[in-house]
Amino acid sequence: MRLTCSFLFPLALIVATVPIAESGGGKKKEPTVTLEEAFRKWDAGFASDKKHDRLAALRAMFPVKEEIAYLFPKQVDKLWPKFEEGHKFLEENVDAIAKEITRGGAITKIQVIDLRKENKGPAKELLAIIPKDVGVFDLTVHREKSTSGSGTYLFMKNRWFFIKDLETIPPILDKLE
């Protein structure tokens, strides 16, 4: 079974459980945990045969309102309820989500793409909105039986997080104001 989530707004998932510092991005700094390390930790939680481990990993991935507020300050009050709605859906479907994410077997290689360096395509409009001190990356994940893109990851205040379909947000933001 393949699980497809479709919401009016993208869902955000925190990829690493690095503690959150004070709100705001502040000065750009190098991560203490690389995106590859964070992704592998996230993937291991979903690969666990224990439901409580999968659910704990999922809940650790959820964004907090302050992160969304830093990224989208004018629209946070309208966006945040959509994220909360998405969290509930994901919790209810954690087993199917974990199976879909890990179905290709063990990770053999991860390619990280810095979208700020590329600055082209659908990401260009997004990069103009996201504060400059927030790193924005894409991943290609190679597994034993498959290879796939895994979406857009952001780095802010020593924390990695994932926002599904992030490039679709710019046109939505104007409608929320």
User: Residue 119 region, left (φ>0) first, then alpha (ψ -120 to 50), else beta?
Assistant: left
| pLDDT bucket at 29, cuts 50 / 70 / 90 | low
Q: Where are the domains of the chain?
A: 12-19+32-176
Q: Is the pLDDT of residue 7 over 70?
A: no
Residue 22 main-chain phi, psi, to 5 deg: -55, 155
* pTM of this structure: 0.78
Query: Which helix (DSSP H) or strand (DSSP E) does residue 151 occupy?
Result: strand 147-156
Most confident of 6-20, 35-49, 157-171: 35-49
- pLDDT for the residue numbered 16: 39
* Mean pLDDT, rounded, for 20-32: 55
Distance CA 90, CA 35 (A): 22
Q: Is the pLDDT of residue 14 over 60?
A: no
- pLDDT for the residue numbered 28: 61
Higher pLDDT, 3 or 124: 124
Is 136:130 a contact under the CB 8 Å cutoff? yes
**How many CB atoms lie under 10 A from the CB of residue 109?**
10
pLDDT over 90 percentage in the chain = 49
DSSP-derived pairing of the beta strands 159-163 and 135-143: unpaired
Query: Which helix (DSSP H) or strand (DSSP E) does residue 108 occupy?
Result: strand 107-114
* Mean pLDDT, rounded, for 65-93: 92
